[in-house]
Every structure is written in C-alpha cells, then in structure tokens.
Structure 1
Amino acid sequence: MRRILLLPVLILIGLSFQPVQSEPLRLMRFPDISGGKVVFSYQGDLWIVPQEGGRALRLTVHDGFESYPKFSPDGKWIAFTGNYFGGTNVFIIPSGGGEPKQLTFEPSAAIVVGWTPDSQHVLFSSNRTAYSNFYTELFKVSIDGRLPQKLPVDRGSLASLSPDGKRMVFVRHPMTYWWWKRYKGSLNLDLWICDLEQGTFQQVTDYTGNDTWPMWGKDGKIYFVSDRNGRANLFSYALDTGSVSQVTSHTQADVQWPSMSPDGRSIVYENEGRLWRLDTETRVTEEIPVEAPGDNHFNMVAFVNPVKYIGNWDVSPQAKRIILDARGKLFSIPVKHGDTRKLTQALACREQHPAWSPDGRWIAYVSDVGGEEEIYLMDQMGQGDPIQLTRSGKFKLALSWSPDSKKLLFHTNDHHLYL
C-alpha cells in the first residue's frame, strides 16, 4: 500500500516545485543600447538586459523614479533622471550598477538628453533659466559635477551631437504635445542643426506635424521619428542630399523614445509597451523579449483613503448631505449626522461631476460606463438602475439644473452649451 501511495505523493511534490514561466514584460520605457546591452526604465527602476532579450537585471532600487537612461559613448556610465530627495535631477551610475552620483541640483526638472562624444559631459534639458516655464533650454554638465553650461541655442528639448561634437541636431519646441496624435499647429516639432563652432543654424525639416527624437548616426544620416505618414515611425535624413526615407513600418502603434547605440549600428525604441531593436544597416527590426524578476508592487492590491482624491461635489437642497466623486465613484455623505452611501457600484468606469436636483430627488452625473462620457440620472438614494440621458460621445462638464428640476444645462469639450 505504501508503494502505491508514494508515487502520487512524489509527483505532487515535483509539480509543486516547477518554476513558473513569467510572461514577457510590457510598459518598459526609455530604452538605450550600448555594447550589446539595453538599459530601460520599468516600475520606476532601471534594468539592463542583453540586446537579444532574456532575464533583466535590476540596477537601481531607490524609492524615487529613475527614467531617461543613457549610456555614455565609452560604455562606462549610465546617466539618468532621478526623482530623489524631492527634486528631479541628473545622476550617473557605473554601467554595471553601483552608487548613483548626483550631477545637478536643479530647482526644476532636469531631463537627460544624451552625452558629448568624449563621455565627459551629460546633456540635459531644463527650464531653469527659460523666460517661460513652458519652454526648456539645453545644458551640459561634467561628470565631475561642476556647474552646468548652457548650450548656444535659444531653447530646446531634445538633442544629439555629431560624432565629432562640432554640430548638434535638436528640437526647439518643448515635448508637450509629442503624445498628441497627428498634431499640426504652431508648436509642431521640427529638427534643426546648429554649427557649434560657427554659430549658424539650419532647419532640417518643415513638416507641419511632428518630427522629433533626433539621433545623429555615423552613416551620414540623422534618424528621427515622424508621423508624416499617419503612424509615427522611424525615418532617416541624408545629410548630403537632404532626402528623407521611412525606416520602420509599424502600423498598430507609434514608435516612441528611440535611442541609438554609440557605434550607430542599432536603435532601440518603444512600441506597444514592448522594446524593439533596429539594425540600421539591414533595416531589420526585431522585438526584444524581456523577463524581469520582481514583486510587481505597483500592481498589488492596497487600501486607499478616497478622501485624498475628492473631485467634484454638490450640496443637497436642504444642505443636509453632500454628493461627491472620489476615485471615480459617487458618495453621499452627511453634513453632520447620518450614514455614508456609495451610490454607484459599477467597477470598470469613472463617475464624476455630480449635480443634485433642486427638488432633492435626483442626481445627475457623468459616467463612461458605456465607453464614452455621457450624462446619467439616478435616484438620490442610489436605488434602481441609472437612466442614460445623452448619447453624443463628447466630454460633458459643469452640469447645472433648472429651478424646476426638469432640465439640465452643460457644456462640452467643443465649447458648446446644451440644455
């Protein structure tokens, strides 16, 4: 009998210790590549992984967020923007990991942009001396931690130096609208070249949309991201002829935050939350599958006090209760005595902008439970099913009742009033 029972027990023990296969990561940000290694930001920390993919190694563990990592051209350092000690500044660490060294002490955010070719200075953008907080300027800071030096351009948000360090391609306007798909307006992003020795400037692109994230290659081309064909992809600009050609052909999602290796042979970038690598010689792209051990602490269930997240509110006609939205749900709370009521129970939606009718019977509010933000009506006690009042697909704001509680006034994101 023992022999019969022993085999099932051993099978169960063996199964219980089988390693769990983790799925490839998503939402990895700001990749850079050097020497066959890719560094990226994930869950606010820096990680490094072989360019072929595999299991990533965590480089930083600070509670603050680390982002925008950039390898030095000699591969010895990684510069990054760290949200430490209440500020957002430039730091460097050895490329194999180690103690961060702070290089800037900015009153405003310092965003790492790149390096000088000699690996002695880190380029960053900041609005520390800009005439408006909306604009940023370009600076460089020594790895020895000396005072930053402003680069000789009026303003800029992104930049890449030529291999000899004599010229710089940069974006003048701020990166405020890089995520605004197919934006065309006065703040569209174009590429400019500055001759740092002669002090002359040349506008490289004049597309009415966004040309951004420039990278100066070693093959006589400047690589950049453009949405000129609808979907943002990588393009190249030939310095000798001025011709522009499309390099990647992603159709489902935009190419974001690309970065070139020091030898100019590879570009890594984000697409659909995944990391990709482009071979600039063959123009072949391939996804980099990444696994990372971790506790996924950002995704863990936690109890949150909704009082810290109160949005809009309204008072009942008798001034005995208050209706408010907090973390996407509606609550009715007493002014002095009574119970707190959670009025809505739907999970995967956001409810906001509550308005109490003058007769006290109804509460109007905005919800995206159907996929679009529409106005709904419900009993002030939360009883029964809500009634949908609009079906326009526009954002609704500032709900206001008529005195007789029979009509609602509101405005939409296209600056129209509706009754």
Structure 2
Amino acid sequence: MTSALNSHDSAEAAAVVAGTEGKTPRSLVVGPRSVINRLPKYAAGKPPAAVQGLESFKLSSNENPLPPLPAVLDAIAAETAVNRYPDPVASSLRARLADFLGVPAEDIVTGGGSLGALNQLLAAFAGQQDDGVQDEVVYAWRSFEAYPISVGLAGAKSVQAPVTEDGRHDLEAMAAAVTDRTRVVLLCTPNNPTGPVLGTAETERFIESLPSDVVVVIDEAYQEFVRDAEAVDGLALYTRYPNVVVLRTFSKAHGLAGLRVGYSISRPEITEHLRVAAVPFAVSSVAERAAIASLDHYAEVVERVQSLVDERDRVMKGLRDLGWSVPDAQGNFVWLNLGEATPEFAAQAAARALSVRAFGTEGVRVSIGEEEANSRFLELCRSFTKAPIGS
C-alpha cells in the first residue's frame, strides 16, 4: 500500500511541476508518413503450437535447423569487447570474404543480413527524385515479401511482374515492365517462396536487354543450396556487367540468422555510393568474428548443407510420389500452391505441432527442417485431400 501511495504522490508531484495538474491529457496527433499505411506488414514465421505428446518443429522461417559449428560458437564466446563499437566497414570479414570468393575486398559492402544490404542499395539508387517523381523498382511476384516494404520505405514505386505457373521469374514480362523511371531490378534466385532458380543464359539475355544504368540485383540468399548445373552464378555476372550487384548472407547455410550478417558484391562504381548509404556498425563484432570462423571451417558447412539438400530431395520425391505438382526446389524450402486450401493446410500442420508459412490463399512455404519434422510434414500431405493446383 505504501509503495502504491508513494507512486501516486510522485505522479501528482510530477504533474504539478509540469503544470498539467487537473488538465485533460492531449490525444496523440503524431502520424507516420502516408506510405506507411499503404505498405504490407512483414509477417515473420510463427513458432509452432504446443501439442501434447508431440515434439514441436518450426518450418516457417527458412532457418537452418542445425546450430552453428562448434568453432563458430567458440568464436562467439571469445568476443568480449562488446563495450566497443565494431569496425564500421567490417574490414576483417571483407578481407576473408575477398580471399574466399576471389574478389577484391573493396567490392564488398557488409550489412545487417542480405536484407540490410538490399536496404542500403535501395537507399542509394531508388527513391523519390527532387522533382517529386518516384523511381521504379521491378521484381517478380510472389517473391521475397520484404521487397515491397523495402521499396516503399525507400520512397520508390514497386512494379511487380507475376511469376509463371511453375513459380519462375517471367523475365520477358519483367523486361517489358522496365521504363525510363526504372532504377533497380530485383532477381531472387532461388526465388523465395516458390523455389526455382534463374538460368545463366536467360539471365544474361535479360541483363543485356536492359538499359545499362539500371541496377540489377541478384539476390542469392540460398546460393549454397543450389544444385542445378544451369543456375546463374551472380559472381560471374558481376565481373562482366558493371550494373550487377550480388546479395549474399550468413543467415541460411551458415546458420547465423540471429547475428544478422550479410553483404553485397559490386563494382567500385556502385560500392562508392553504397558506402555512403551503409548503416554504420551494422555488423557487430560478434557477428563478424562468427562469420569469419564459419568461413574458416567451410568444409563442415558444406557437409551440413548437403545433409539439408538430401532431406529436401527426399521431401520433393515424397511429394511427387503423391502425384503432387510442386515447383523445382533449389533453396531450403518447398512451395505448395494450395490456393484456397492454404489456411486449412496450415491449421492441420499446427495440429501436428508443425508451423508452416501460409501466404493468404496463395500457398504454403515449408522449410526443410529436422528429419522427424520433414517426415511428419509428408505424413500430413499424404492425408491431405486437396492437392496443389495443377496436380
């Protein structure tokens, strides 16, 4: 009681000092920029529901279900100087990446995950011009759900080209959507959430069809999982085309999603502007040390990734054995084009202690998880009577 009285007395005293005693509090009138209310809300993958007698599995966020390598955990534990700001340009990591990838260190700009690197790029190259005209950013849809949010926050206009029935980029439609206001084109390969990759030849033809002042972003967040021999290699293209930017991350294959470390690779004509737009200290010293340790033990990363690829292939075979039509999966996830049956499938998954990523009434993306989780997912598919559209 005494504590409550003291609290009340303190509030009264503060009101007297502020000159607000006896006055009606003002209502909040501060509002966001108008674009905020027009943007979609990013929906992160939900955790699984607890179901008695079942171990729960999260298959909704494209996370690596395996923990970081022991050497990486040791490196994280050894970083104690967190009272100091990190190197603002992550020099040690960039030097290690340069050696690992065979590119100049000055061509690498780090960011808070590949999304952070993308936001830096949009801040530098796409927004609203001095005359009030919006730049345009062209990308496939459905693709990474953060794209329209990032583009809108940058002040630019999204131009979406629908993916094909099998979940691929329609490059002809994307090329046709480019205008004199287009500043950036985003290519997500493998495409999240549908799964297919872009081929080398088709991507080269697409780039060559665009004006040379349009920045082409090749988003390769899942590059380590790709096994298609014809898949485009962003690094090879950036050396040939000065307007190409490659995005990569340590979140997926390396299992460092919680540390937020990614990067872009581009020619000096682009990186000079990216460094101006880069968020200072975006990559922490802990994240930098962890990423370097993971690169130093990359052979072990490859083994872990291959184990997930093997599971992905097992899941894909299981789905096709059911007669289900599913797009080619080259990331660490599969896509079920379930249409109106999407909410029902997600609910049945939740009843089995599995969380999946449902996109309205479009479809469901299911991340490749632990072996038991993948088997339980396949069991659900065997009992689900509404096959994906096109099956």
Asked which structure has the greater RCO (Cα within 8 Å, sep 6+), the reply is: 2
Larger radius of gyration between Structure 1 and Structure 2: 1
Q: Is the pair's TM-score, using the shorter chain for normalization, greater than 0.5?
A: no
Q: Return the structure number with greater helix share.
A: 2
TM-score (norm 2): 0.28
TM-score (norm 1): 0.27
Q: Return the structure number with greater strand share.
A: 1
